[in-house]
A and B are shown apart, each in its own frame.
Chain A
């Protein structure tokens, strides 16, 4: 039995290329600890997941997203 495929939330939002400056969008695809959510949980398609991965890493460098959440220092 296969579960029906979830539609990709990024495609649905009409986004062609994921923007690393859009921290509100990126925050939807990280876990409570700040890790990148696997596409099997988020339903993001492979192309957007690759873009997302790079965007999250850029956003972390720019202190828009934390490297590790829920930890001081």
Chain B
């Protein structure tokens, strides 16, 4: 019982996609993300990928464009409800999605040898076209 403060809660890898109001300044967006990530009590800082502003495939409310940011975090599941509540209350966050990273997505990064092999293969294809 007494150990619950000293022991770190087990964390799981999550990927969070944010669509933020594109009218916001970049600095304000970064600040906002940092503030929300504070609720997750992260041991290491979130790895954030900024896609920037892009057109939405359909209108969400009055928004036709949004600022996309993707954060990869290792968070304790218990911190999520409070975090998600804050996101829902934040008017500048148009939409968000938290998903558990169970597998590595997309194609694996190729080693140099594989890249060379692929490049050679592509060259062959080009010759065929001509």
The distance from the CB of A36 to the nearest CB of chain B, in whole angstroms, is: 15
Residue pair B58, A67 in contact (C-beta under 8 Å): yes
Distance A26 CA – B22 CA, assembled complex (angstroms): 24
B30 part of interface (Cβ distance < 8 Å): no
Name the residue on B nearest A13 (C-beta): B107
Min distance, Cβ A50 to any Cβ of chain B, angstroms: 13
Contact among B17, B60, B106 with A22 in the assembled complex (CB-CB below 8 Å): B106
Judge whether A14 and B107 touch: CB under 8 Å.
Answer: yes
Interface of B is mostly: strand
Interface residue ranges, B against A (CB under 8 Å)? 17, 19, 56-60, 66, 70, 95, 97, 99, 103-108, 110
Contact A21 B105 (CB under 8 A): yes
A interface residue count range (under 10 / 10 to 19 / 20 to 34 / 35 or more): 20 to 34
Which residues 31-73 of A sit at the B interface, judged by CB distance below 8 A? 58, 60-67, 73
Q: How far is the CA of A62 from the CA of B70 in the complex (A)?
A: 12
Query: What's the minimum C-beta distance from B14 to chain A, rounded to whole angstroms?
Result: 14
A1 cross-chain contacts in B, Cβ below 8 A: none
Given the complex of chains A and B, what is the CA–CA distance between A34 and B91 in angstroms?
A: 29
> How many interface contacts (CB-CB < 8 Å) are there between A and B?
47
Of the candidates A14, A58, A60, A66, which one forms a contact with B108 in the assembled complex, judged by CB atoms under 8 Å apart?
A: A14
Is there contact, CB below 8 Å, between B105 and A63?
no
Contact residue among B56, B70, B103, B107 (Cβ-Cβ distance under 8 Å from A63): B56
What 10 pairs across the A-B complex have the smallest Cβ distances? A19-B105, A63-B56, A19-B106, A66-B57, A17-B103, A14-B107, A63-B57, A15-B107, A66-B58, A17-B105
Distance (Å) between the CB of A27 and the closest chain B CB? Answer: 10
Q: Which residue of B lies closest to A67 (CB)?
A: B58
Min C-beta distance of A29 to chain B, whole Å: 15
User: Could you mark each residue 1-30 of chain A with 1 if its beta carbon is under 8 Å from any beta carbon of chain B, else 0?
Assistant: 000000000000111111111100000000
